[in-house]
A and B are shown apart, each in its own frame.
Chain A
Amino acid sequence: MIDLTINTDLARTILTGFIKTEITRAGFSRAVVGLSGGLDSAVSCYLAAEALGPENVLALRMPYKTSSQDSLEHAQMVIDALGVRSLTIPITEMVEPYLERFAEAGPVRRGNVMARARMIILYDQSETFGGLVVGTGNKTEILLGYTTLYGDSACALNPLGDLYKTQLRQLAHALGLPEAILQKPPTADLWKDQTDEGELGFTYAEVDKVLYLLVDQRFTPEACVEAGFSEAFVRQVVERVRRNHFKRILPPIAKLSNRTVGYDFLYLRDWGT
């Protein structure tokens, strides 16, 4: 029995409390969110505005020249609906001089450069705004590694990382996101007509179920096949999760001393607060 239904009221209570507490105890009262025009970043922005008040949230739109007009407009809908502060900072002038030197760079390389340029802006603006960067990565993309390391995955805290895309959609509905955002297909918008599901080769609805069995319910791959999923699909998902684990952990430090960061120097980030 695979049921990914969540109680959205409870999720909202826990996640807004998380954002407020973790930002406040770090000595801040404000948040910065990169708004792509998509569902995930819109949800993060809604939660941050609810947690901190819209005047304490800075939403950044960072279009590239090939970004769709829809993305910009949908991000503006979120800004208007919430009354958060906003800035639009195109990244084209930042990334073009670099990419022009490497005309052979393919879409993945170009997409990574764009994602990392946005990270630079988010962190720089967070410094001047006096806020922390609130992340937008969901559990599905974290597990699949469908993210750019030190790019869109970079953040100070992530309220969405334990919700599968399917569950995030439920939360988005409950939060009352604009219909245009709820309805459109998920896309990284790194090139024209890109969609997540087209690039991944499967739908979120399907992969979320397999991930839920593998990760949450601790099914073996064989048991997933017995539960009705094709063996090729299950193998593909298992391998993706394994291969991308490096994106989910800090870089390993070579141990030399008796006490080493990451192994036996263990403190929470909330240490002392």
Chain B
Amino acid sequence: MKLTLALAQINTCLGDVQRNLEKHLSHVEEAHASGADLLIFPELSLTGYVLQDLTSTVSCRPDGNDPVFRPLLEASQKVDLVVGFVDEDRRHRFFISSAYLSKGEVVHVHHKVYLPTYGLFDEGRFFAWGDAVRAFDTRFGRVGILICEDFWHASPPYLLWLDGADLFLFTSASPGRGLGQEPKLESAHWVELTNQAYASLFTSFVVHVNRVGYEDGLNFWGGSTVFDPDGELLAKGPYQQEALTLAEIDLGQLHRTRARLPLLRDERTALVLRELKRIVGGVS
């Protein structure tokens, strides 16, 4: 089975959900016209990233009654969508979130489980910590979503892999940092390395969609990528500029790679669990 991914490497307007929504809907039209099956937007694509005290004013509920999600759900009749937003739950906790929408339904919502609160980051001050890492079924097979810092930790991708995900959708609003001699920033180098490593180690498709643009002095570097189960780079968006990057992936590659390299078959989950219990639980 082949499917065409569209990586929407967009800039966003900080705190103006309506303007960002309009951009999402115009990208849906463009992606649909280009034959895309799945259109992926970056982290917090509906709100912008450094929200601080704007957090509580830009939140939505991922359902058909929400004025922001209603048009997105309609748009998902044309093409499956991953959108980034602030989810305000029933108890009024705010989560950095990504929702997978398909055929008018909310298929899955992921709450970011790792909130960087160090260096230039201050997410833990404004957001609640997500508490689940779950793969989910789509019309293209089983998928896992992670948001930025989630995949700076090795365990969430590993959990998704064991939970059946063959297609990993990673979204970011990654501020560029680390200018040295190389033609790419250190942050870009690091993220590309890890994405390629996950694709190789998990013999899976790993898609990363990162935003572009500026928020005050921060730049977001783009450079969205698709790696295949062999760790080969299939597509890459430009650095520092908006782009809708299309990538056709052949899910048959999972069969071919895993026939050659049965890392998933040989993964010793019982051993992992036993040792984890010993390490974390102090039981020998």
Partners in one complex: yes
Interface set of A (CB-CB < 8 Å, partner B): 3, 5-7, 9-11, 13-14, 17-18, 21-22, 162, 264-273
- Is the beta-carbon distance between A6 and B181 smaller than 8 angstroms? yes
Report if B50 contacts A (CB, 8 A): yes
Are A21 and B213 in touch, CB under 8 angstroms?
yes
Question: Is B14 an interface residue when CB atoms closer than 8 A count as contact?
Answer: yes
Q: Which residues of B contact A21 (CB under 8 A)?
A: 213-214
A272 touches which of B14, B183, B216 (Cβ 8 Å): B14
Q: Give the Cβ gap from A135 to chain B, nearest Cβ, in Å.
A: 11
A193 CB to nearest B CB, Å: 35
Residues of B within 8 A of A (CB): 13-16, 50, 52-54, 176, 179-185, 213-217, 219, 239-240
Indicate whether A18 sits within 8 Å of B217 (C-beta atoms), given known contacts A266-B53, A272-B15: yes
On whether the beta carbons of A266 and B181 are closer than 8 Å, the reply is: no
Q: List 29 A-B contacts (CB under 8 A).
A: A3-B180, A5-B180, A5-B181, A6-B181, A7-B183, A10-B179, A10-B183, A10-B184, A11-B179, A14-B219, A14-B240, A17-B240, A18-B214, A21-B213, A264-B53, A266-B53, A267-B52, A268-B215, A268-B216, A269-B216, A270-B14, A270-B215, A270-B216, A271-B14, A271-B54, A272-B14, A272-B16, A273-B13, A273-B16
Q: How far, in whole Å, are A21 and B214 apart by their CA atoms in the complex?
A: 7
Contacts of B219 in A (CB 8 A): 14, 17-18
**In whole Å, how far is A167's beta carbon from the nearest beta carbon of chain B?**
8
> Whose C-beta in chain A lies nearest to the C-beta of B125?
A266
A9 partner residues in chain B, CB cutoff 8 A:
183
Residues from chain B with a CB closer than 8 A to the CB of A264 are: 53
Contact residues in A for B181 (Cβ distance below 8 Å):
3, 5-7
CB distance from A161 to the nearest CB of B (A): 8
The answer to whether A6 and B179 have CB atoms under 8 Å apart is: yes
Q: Which residues of A contact B180 (CB under 8 A)?
A: 3, 5-7
> Which of B15, B183, B185, B214 has a CB less than 8 Å from the CB of A17?
B214
Q: How far apart are A180's CB and chain B's nearest CB, in angstroms?
A: 28
B18 to chain A, nearest CB (A): 11
Q: Are B217 and A10 in contact (CB under 8 A)?
A: no
Q: Which B residues touch A10, using CB under 8 A?
A: 179, 183-185
The 8 closest A-B pairs by CB, nearest first: A266-B52, A21-B214, A5-B181, A268-B216, A266-B53, A270-B14, A268-B50, A14-B219
- For B213, list chain A residues within 8 Å (CB): 21
Given A267-B53, A272-B16, also A7-B179 (CB < 8 A): yes
- Bound together, the chains give a CA A187 to CA B185 distance in angstroms of 32
Nearest chain B CB to A27 CB, angstrom units: 14
Q: Is the pair A14, B176 in contact by a Cβ cutoff of 8 Å?
A: yes
Q: In the bound complex, do residue B182 and residue A267 qualify as a contact, i.e. CB atoms below 8 Å apart?
A: no
Distance in angstroms between the alpha carbons of A147 and B32 in the assembled complex: 54
